[in-house]
């Protein structure tokens, strides 16, 4: 499959979905689905709809088999993989991720192209993918987290620190090959886990990064209070 051009649909044209879509489009046919008509129009005119210099440069200057659409059928028909990168905003008051957009994609894919393999890249709670497989009665769904920095998503896709996939199957291995083809870095560390473990990896990675930022903020505050050189302490 990876030796020929594979049709891949990407649901969600935020920085996660868009950066991945553009890099995959160098060697595959990629159709990006979004509900924002203005965003879709800009993408088809090779204008970046979000504030990201790397994505803008890739969109304007790379030779890509890429287009955007508002039509789910246009995106999903004949797609081998559907990458789900829709927003799952966390509601602090109710303490839950809003996964409605993911479920909408799953329903549409099942109706339009039930043979497509769906890969969730949106951030979800631990256990979500397993529950979704039961709820929607599908085995064509797995989770693969992204580890991207906003504003550096192209670089982080080209030089990934690791690739984590929530199942160990042939289709998961093909998906990894697609990501490796899009990358510049060789010998990328690949970890095949269960879906819930992959979801936990993403959430704990986010938590660790937030904790590290808070830690160094405290260090800087302490140094300022005591007249110390922060850079010397960190180094």
**pLDDT tens-digit series, residues 156-201:** 999 999 999 999 999 999 999 999 999 999 999 999 999 999 999 9
pLDDT confidence band for 151 (50 / 70 / 90)? confident
**pLDDT tens-digit series, residues 18-31:** 999 999 999 999 99
Phi, psi (rounded to 5 degrees) for 155: -60, -45
Instruction: Give first-to-last CA distance, the chain, whole Å.
Output: 47
Q: Is the pLDDT of residue 75 over 60?
A: yes
Compute the distance between CA of residue 21 and CA of residue 8 in angstroms, rounded to an integer.
8
Those residues whose C-beta lies under 8 Å from the C-beta of residue 201, and which sit 6 or more positions away, are 145, 164, 191, 193
Sequence-ordered alpha helix ranges (H) in the chain: 15-24, 37-44, 53-61, 72-76, 100-112, 128-135, 153-158, 170-182, 195-225, 230-234
Phi, psi (rounded to 5 degrees) for 75: -75, -45
**pLDDT at residue 209, rounded to an integer:** 92
Compute the distance between CA of residue 212 and CA of residue 206 in angstroms, rounded to an integer.
10
pLDDT confidence band for 1 (50 / 70 / 90)? very low
- How many CA atoms are closer than 13 Å to the CA of 137, on its beta-carbon side? 1
Fill in the DSSP letter of residue 24. Answer: H
Phi, psi (rounded to 5 degrees) for 46: 60, 35
Q: Is the pLDDT of residue 3 over 60?
A: no
For the record, the structure tokens of 214 come out as 């808070």
**pLDDT at residue 170, rounded to an integer:** 98
**pLDDT at residue 4, rounded to an integer:** 67
Mean pLDDT of 53-68: 93
* Bridge partners, residue 8, by sequence: 30, 81
> Do residues 39 and 4 make contact, with C-beta atoms less than 8 angstroms apart?
no
> Do residues 58 and 30 make contact, with C-beta atoms less than 8 angstroms apart?
no
Q: Is the pLDDT of residue 2 over 70?
A: no
Distances (CA, A) of 21 to 18, 81, 98, 233: 5, 12, 23, 41
**pLDDT tens-digit series, residues 209-222:** 999 999 999 999 99
**pLDDT, the chain, mean:** 94
Q: Is the pLDDT of residue 96 over 90?
A: no
Compute the distance between CA of residue 48 and CA of residue 64 in angstroms, rounded to an integer.
14
Phi, psi (rounded to 5 degrees) for 106: -60, -45
Mean pLDDT of 115-119: 98
């Amino acid at each position: 499959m990876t030796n020929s051009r594979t049709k891949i649909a990407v649901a969600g044209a935020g920085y996660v979905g868009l950066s991945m879509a553009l890099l995959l489009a160098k060697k595959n046919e990629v159709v990006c689905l979004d509900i924002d008509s203005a965003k879709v129009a800009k993408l088809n005119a090779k204008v970046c709809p979000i504030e990201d210099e790397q994505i803008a440069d890739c969109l304007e200057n790379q030779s890509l088999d890429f287009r955007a659409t508002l039509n789910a059928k246009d995106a999903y028909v004949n797609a081998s993989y559907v990458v789900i990168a829709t927003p799952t905003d966390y509601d602090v008051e109710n303490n839950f991720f809003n996964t409605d957009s993911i479920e909408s994609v799953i329903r549409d894919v099942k109706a339009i192209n039930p043979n497509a393999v769906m890969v969730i890249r949106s951030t979800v709670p631990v256990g979500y993918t397993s529950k979704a497989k039961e709820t929607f009665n599908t085995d064509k769904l797995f989770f693969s987290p992204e580890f991207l920095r906003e504003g550096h998503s192209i670089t982080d896709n080209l030089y990934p620190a690791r690739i984590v996939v929530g199942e160990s199957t042939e289709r998961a291995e093909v998906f990894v090959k697609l990501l490796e083809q899009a990358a510049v870095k060789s010998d990328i560390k690949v970890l095949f886990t269960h879906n819930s473990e992959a979801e936990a990896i993403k959430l704990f990675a986010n938590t660790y990064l937030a904790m590290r930022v808070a830690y160094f903020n405290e260090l800087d505050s302490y140094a300022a209070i005591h007249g110390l050189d922060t850079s010397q302490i960190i180094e």
